[in-house]
Amino acid sequence: MKRPLLLLLLCLPAAAMAAPGDQVSLEHSLDSIVASRFKPELPGVAALVLKDGRPLLRKAYGMANVELGVPVRPEHVFRIGSTTKLFTATAIMLLVDDGKVALDAPIARYLKNAPSQWKEVTVEHLLTHTSGIPNLTMDSGYWRTTARLEHTLDELVAPARERPLASKPGTVFVYNNTGYHLLGQIVEQVSGQEFHAFIDARIARPLGLAHTGSGDDKTFHPGLVTGYQAGPKPAWLIANSNLHAAGGMVSTVDELAAFMLALQGGKLVSPANVKRMNASYVLPDGKATGYGLGEWVR
């Protein structure tokens, strides 16, 4: 598959870029900002900006496929990359609400093959990128070699079991895809469902998200845009199975908005746990990481 580098833009809520109540001026300002960054003949974006749950801007810019000259449309499907992590975190919090997972529990409670060096790593450490477990996607040559081959979820995390922790759990923030693959395993072990099947059953179908789910290379995704890297050049070849619970989903701006509104409105996860998801994790030295549970926060 091609690794997409098209930007999927979702702003909730909109920043104050115009005088209060001047919605027309604000929409024009937002349109000008996005349009200035994406030329009509080059890879583009679908942009949706909401304020108080209502769209201020819903528009597409540039090309969905440069070679064929197909423009982006707002309803097009994108590979959402690490926005997948918020779905993974939501899945974990649904299990917390169910009483089946505890954030302060060691992950060894849910992962039978957890090595001894992970005994102090908790579910919250995985969610906040503070586990100290090595991030395998930072290995030299990973994206040029390993990531091009299909892997199971267990195969994705297996090498980490043989390595020592890079830091004491809870003390250092290091963005970690491997940690989110482990969270995907926890979802599977606790729920008894395949990860994407759980997302579909507990999030996508209840919210009517028909285009949100696994970006499986073996599945046809109507309306899926083509990915590019700078140049533009064809995006890197990567097997989507390597992205999985850390970045392997697809969606649209409209469905991401519906998901965010439902999540923040307490319609998926309990309000108390939504508040916890939105709170920046604080390290022992008192420094806030700027990351909550599955999302960057202010």
pLDDT band at 26 (very low <50, low <70, confident <90, very high): confident
Distance CA 238, CA 147 (A): 5
Long-range Cβ pairs for the range 206-211 (8 Å, 24+) = 206/268, 207/255, 207/258, 207/259, 207/262, 207/268, 208/258, 209/251, 209/255, 209/258, 209/259, 210/255, 211/77, 211/250, 211/251, 211/252, 211/255
If you write DSSP's letter for every residue of the chain in order, what string do you get?
Answer: -B-----EEEESS----SSTT-HHHHHHHHHHHHHTTS-TTSB-EEEEEEETTEEEEEEEESEEETTTTEEP-TT-BEE-GGGHHHHHHHHHHHHHHTTS--TTSBGGGT-TT--GGGTT-BHHHHHTT-S----GGGSTTTTTTGGGS---HHHHHGGGGGS--SS-TTS-----HHHHHHHHHHHHHHHSS-HHHHHIIIIIHHHT-TT-EE--TTS--TTBPPPEETTTEEPPB--GGGTHHHH-EEE-HHHHHHHHHHHHTTSSS-HHHHHHHTSPPB-TTS-B-SB-SSSB--
Report d(CA 103, CA 84) in Å as an integer. Answer: 19
Domains of the chain: 83-207+260-277 (3.40.710.10)
Tens of pLDDT, residue by residue over 128-164, are: 999 999 999 999 999 989 999 999 999 999 999 999 9
Q: What is the pTM of this model?
A: 0.91
User: Going by DSSP bridges, is the β-strand pair 8-11/45-51 parallel, antiparallel, or unpaired?
Assistant: parallel
> Using CA atoms, how far apart are residues 289 and 298, in angstroms rounded to an integer?
10
**pLDDT of residue 3 exceeding 50:** no
The pLDDT value recorded for residue 139 is 93
What pLDDT, on a 0 to 100 scale, did the predictor assign at position 226?
Answer: 95
Tell me the pLDDT of the chain averaged across its residues: 92
Q: Supply the pLDDT for residue 1.
A: 32
Taking each helix axis as running N to C, give the angle between helix 84-97 and helix 253-264, from 0 to 180 degrees, rounded to the nearest 10.
30
pLDDT digits (tens, 9 = 90+) for 39-51: 999 999 999 999 8
Residue type, 76: H
pLDDT in tens, 213-233: 999 999 999 999 999 998 999
